[in-house]
Amino acid sequence: MKNSLHHIISASQFKKSDVFRYIANARRFRTESAESSVSTRFQGKTVVNMFYEPSTRTNCSFQAAAHKLGCNVISLTEAASSSKKGESLEDTIRTLGCYAEAIVLRHPERGAAHRAAKASRIPIINAGDGNGEHPTQALLDVYTIYEELAAFGLNIDSPLTEITVCFVGDLKNSRTVHSLVYLLGLLANVRFIFLSPKSLEIPQMLADIQIANGHQVLINTMSLDEALPLCDVLYMTRIQKERFATEFEYETVMANRRDYSIDGERMERAKQQMIVMHPLPRLDEIAEEVDKDPRAAYFRQVENGLYMRMAILEQLLEIHASIYVDNPMHANSSSSLSGEQHNT
């Protein structure tokens, strides 16, 4: 293998063909899962779930995915780790590389996954680094959009199709939005509508990339009520209290939360052929009454996460195994990852 390791750190590392291969494999796992529950394909392989920030979906779906592929799982939280005694992230990663074939890392610091990859001799999967990125969420999100819009006869891969995707909420800190905007811009013709409180706007650099790639970008040029009839995809997010410096700043933003929330009445403005997504967890930005609306896709999105993470682990474990076969000495060397080397 030319490349040393195949970490998943950023959505920007993917090519269009990578994403469609993951989607095809996730679809295969969906079909296979309906027929059998556990494979023995990767028996004896171990995946470490290293979660230094809370998680329900990413943690549990990676665990379920690993088990369904026949892997063992080691779970490590910050509270139970020697980081509490002052051990560095790099030393923890070097240690875990002695026990496993891949590390799924969630960490509160932006850039932590990249740091971990530089120290690691096994693949690192970024499961969310602070307010940076969440590339595996973006993969399951594009899988969901692809499947759901195909049911309306919209093929996002067609150059003749333009879709309108409206992102709502905390767009400054939402790592899922940061990764998904990149992937959508890669895969489809998109009119992006970004709606957020002024202090939580989408990073200008991300918007600029989409404009440079020929997509239409509208930042806070209309209200949610005005945007709803235009949407093929409405992507809601939570205002992330944990990212605010003070309670006062959070409460100031939350005072206007109705502008960034939907309920049954508001959904009447939306098209019948559209979907509502949310990476979850939600607070009150989507009223529970919306759950029974067939356009509410967020729990189907959760299920898609399982199949997408099976596809991701399968590919990494296969590549990792081939590296060991091609070059057993690799087991004793760390990755020399730089910005461009962490390809899938």
Q: Which residues make up the interface to ligand CP (CB under 6 A)? A: 55-59, 128, 134, 137, 279-281
Mapping DSSP to helix (H, G, I), strand (E, B) and coil, where does residue 2 land? coil
For 132, phi then psi, to 5°, come to -85, -90
Q: Report the helix count and the strand count for the chain, using DSSP H and E.
A: 11, 9
Token pair recorded at residue 103:
């590390």
Query: CA 326 to CA 323: how far, in whole Å?
Result: 5
User: Is the N-terminal amide bond of 279 cis, ω within 30° of 0?
Assistant: no
Q: How far is the CB of 165 from ligand CP (least distance, A)?
A: 17
Nearer CB in complex with ligand CP: 59/173: 59
Q: Indicate the SS3 state at residue 33.
A: helix
Distance of alpha carbon 30 from alpha carbon 42, whole angstroms: 18
Nearer to ligand CP, 228 or 236 (CB): 236
Taking the complex as a whole, the smallest distance from the CB of residue 280 to ligand CP amounts, in Å, to: 5
| Other Cβ atoms within 10 Å of 95 Cβ, number | 13
**Minimum gap (Å) between residue 277 Cβ and ligand CP:** 11
Helix (H) or strand (E) holding 96: helix 89-96
CB of 278 to ligand CP, least distance (A): 9
Query: What Rg, from alpha-carbon coordinates, does the chain have?
Result: 20
Q: Which helix (H) or strand (E) holds 127?
A: strand 124-129
Minimum CB separation of residue 232 from ligand CP in Å reads 21
Cβ-based nearer residue to ligand CP, 106 or 118 = 106
Closer CB to ligand CP, 141 or 147, in the complex: 141
**In the annotation, is 85 catalytic?**
yes
Structure-derived torsion over alpha carbons of residues 106, 111, 114, 118, reported in degrees to the nearest 10: -110
The single residue of 57, 118, 175, 215 carrying the catalytic annotation is 57
If we measure between CA atoms, which residue out of 67, 96, 7 comes closest to residue 319? Answer: 7
Q: Given 6, 30, 106, 118, which residue is catalytic?
A: 106
Cis status, amide bond into 294, omega within 30 of 0: no
Catalytic pick from 58, 136, 144, 237? 58
Do the Cβ atoms of 50 and 103 come closer than 8 Å?
Answer: yes
Active site residue 238: no
57 is catalytic: yes
Residue 137 Cβ vs ligand CP, minimum distance, rounded to whole Å: 5
Residue 134 a catalytic site member:
yes
Longest dimension (CA), the chain: 62
List 124's β-bridge partners, or say none: 103
Smallest distance from ligand CP to CB 124, Å = 17
Closer by beta carbon to ligand CP, 179 or else 196: 179
Q: Which is nearer to ligand CP, 301 or 341 (CB)?
A: 301
Active-site residue, 21 included: no
DSSP 8-state assignment for residue 296: B
CB-nearer residue toward ligand CP: 56 or 223: 56
Q: Among the options 134, 215, 278, 309, which is catalytic?
A: 134
Query: Cα–chain-centroid distance for residue 41?
Result: 25
Catalytic residues: 57-58, 85, 106, 134
